[in-house]
Structures are given as C-alpha cells and as structure tokens.
Amino acid sequence: MDRRALIQAAAGAAFVPRMTAAEQPRPVQEAPIPSTGERIPRVGLGTWQTFDVGAAEARRADLALVLRAYAAVGRAVVDTSPMYGSSESVLGSLLSRERLHGRLFVATKVWTTGERQGTEQLDESSTKLETPRPDLVQIHNLVDWKTHLVTLRKRKDAGRIRYLGLTHYQAAAHTELADLIRREPVDFVQINLSLTEPEAAERLLPVAADRGVAVLVNRPFGGGTGLSRVRGKPLPAWATEAGIRSWAHFFLGWVLAHPEVTCAIPGTGNPRHAEDNLEAGRGRPFDAAFRARMTRAWLAT
C-alpha cells in the first residue's frame, strides 16, 4: 500500500484494506501537558502558508486528507494564527466539513495590540475556526503580551479557552521568553528548535521543564534551510538502520529526542509529507547519545 492510500484508510476513506497486526502503523509518541497531565501526540501540524489557500478546492481536498491523518493518531495539535492569511477560515471550514471538531487539538494566537483589538481578534478567530472554545490561544511573537495575558487569563477562568501560551520564532527572543515563563503562569511556550537553530536546547528547554510549561516546536526543519542543505544527499547508513526513512524524519527525530519537547509542529499541505512527519513520532524517541550522533552528522554535511 502506498502512503496516500494509507492516509486515506486511516482517515476512514472508502478504501479500507484488511491489515494484519504486524501491518498496523505503530502509535505516535505522546507527551503530557505539564499543567494538567492531558496527553497529546508529539507530532502536530503547523498551518503557516500551507493552509492559506482560500477557496481553492483542489488544495483543500489535500488539506482534508492531512487533517484526517492527524486526527487518526489522536488529538494532534493543529496550530494557526490570524497572521496566516486565510488559514484560520480554511481550517475551521475543513474541521466542520470533515466532522473533526473535538478530534484535533486546535491552537491559535492573538496578534494585535490593545485590549479591545485583542478581544475582537479572539472573537473573530473563534468564528473563523467555527469553535467557541479553542484548546490553546497563544500570544504571537510576544506582541503586547502584558495586555493579552490579562485577557487570556480571564477567558481561561471563564472556560472560553483551555490553555494559554507565548510564542516566538527567533532565538533572539529566547532570553525574554525564559524570563517570562519564570514569572508568569502559562501552559505553553512555542519556540524554534532544529538542527539549524539549536539554541533553545540550552537556553530555554531547561527553564520550561523546571516551570512545568509545555513546549511546542516551530521551524523544526529550520524554516526549510535544513532540508535544502541535505537535498539529494543520502542518509547515513546508521540512521536508516535505526528506522529513519527521510531527512524530514531525521530532523524531527532530533527534535523529539529532547525530552522537554511536548510536540513539534511542522507545516505541510501534502498528505504524503504528513504521513512522513507522523512516522518520525512512531516508536520510542532517540536517546541523548543518538541525538549527539545526529548533530555530528549534520555538522559534517
């Protein structure tokens, strides 16, 4: 069976082959959200650029397959933002059309300044996502964080959101993020971490672990620069022997080898790539020694 057929089968499409126990895909690793103990898959989905497709039905059809593949492994995180063009609306429409509300962990952000503007944007996001209660709302790139933290805490206390968090995508913000999660009670922090941008491993992950904050990882491929650097190069033999099937799997395996990471959220609108990304989370995570070997191999490329 090819990967596309496997995705369709897992998502409950018309073609459902009979599979032996040995052929069943292994479960995706899960990790607890420290503030509650709720468990989520360690591979989720980002929607920046990939879900900004407007009304293009052909592209929406592929996105539906992607979402169904993620729903098939549990309540996987799907992360979006008002800053991502039509992504919130596309995601909300697909969640309703595919009857996936409640089967995915929906995360969005607030990305504006001022209390009134923030409240309006949060309401607009809920409308676009077609859900009155997002699982997670984050302050995008720390924009006006003091104002929005107050608003998000009120919404969480009122049961209008389940979790709140902070995000950034640049290593230059890690010091400020570390200071904030030491002082402010938040459930999640979303940061960049990859073989090309490893700074968070030393500067931020230990603080998050100490404070009991869940870690979402954006840019696990280094914004695409990492995969571009290895395009056309063979995987090390020892990596394939360990079950690594692709360079994307290699990069995600390195991220997930950090036990402090709750979930990595690579973006894709391609069903085949979605299954490849999920494959990186199947089985046991790599240990620190194997992660160090991966780092050495990357530096030598």
Least trusted range by pLDDT, from 6-20, 94-108, 150-164, 179-193: 6-20
Cβ atoms within 10 Å of 245's Cβ, excluding its own:
13
Q: What are the structure tokens assigned to 196, written together?
A: 């090309």
d(CA 84, CA 233): 32
- Which residues, in sequence order, are bridge partners of residue 105? 77
Q: What are the structure tokens assigned to 219, written together?
A: 């840019």
The answer to whether the predicted template modeling score (pTM) of the entire model surpasses 0.95 is: no
pLDDT (0 to 100) of residue 64: 98
d(CA 94, CA 184): 35
pLDDT (0 to 100) of residue 14: 35
pLDDT tens, residue by residue, 51-95 = 999 999 999 999 999 999 999 999 999 999 999 999 999 999 999
pLDDT tens, residue by residue, 231-259 = 999 999 999 999 999 999 999 999 999 99
pLDDT band at 8 (very low <50, low <70, confident <90, very high): very low
Q: Using a CB cutoff of 8 Å and minimum separation of 24, what contacts does 56-60 make?
A: 59/269, 60/90, 60/93, 60/94
d(CA 256, CA 105): 19
d(CA 188, CA 215): 6
Which amino acid would we find at residue 226? G
* Alpha helix positions (H), the chain: 3-10, 57-71, 87-97, 115-129, 145-157, 174-183, 200-203, 205-211, 225-230, 237-241, 247-256, 271-279, 288-299
d(CA 174, CA 207): 10
Exposure string over 174-212, b if 16+ CB within 10 A, otherwise e: beebbebbeeeebbbbbbbbbbbbbebbeebbebbeebe
pLDDT tens, residue by residue, 30-56 = 999 999 999 999 999 999 999 999 999
d(CA 287, CA 258): 8
pLDDT surpassing 90 at residue 159: yes
Q: Span 213-236, mean pLDDT?
A: 95
pLDDT (0 to 100) of residue 118: 98
Q: Span 94-99, mean pLDDT?
A: 98
Helix (H) or strand (E) holding 167: strand 163-167
Question: Which residues are CB-neighbours of 127 under 8 A, at least 6 positions away?
Answer: 92
What CATH homologous superfamily does 39-222+258-283 map to?
NADP-dependent oxidoreductase domain (3.20.20.100)
Residues 22/242, Cβ–Cβ less than 8 Å: no
The domains of the chain are located at 39-222+258-283
pLDDT surpassing 80 at residue 22: no
pLDDT surpassing 60 at residue 11: no
Q: What are the structure tokens assigned to 207, written together?
A: 């603080």
pLDDT tens, residue by residue, 115-154 = 999 999 999 999 999 999 999 999 999 999 999 999 999 9
Q: Span 194-204, mean pLDDT?
A: 96
Q: φ and ψ at 264, to 5 degrees?
A: -100, 145
Q: For residue 97, how many C-alpha atoms fall within 13 Å in the half-sphere facing its CB?
A: 14
pLDDT band at 24 (very low <50, low <70, confident <90, very high): low
In 3D, which of 236, 241, 218 has the Cα closest to residue 293?
Answer: 236
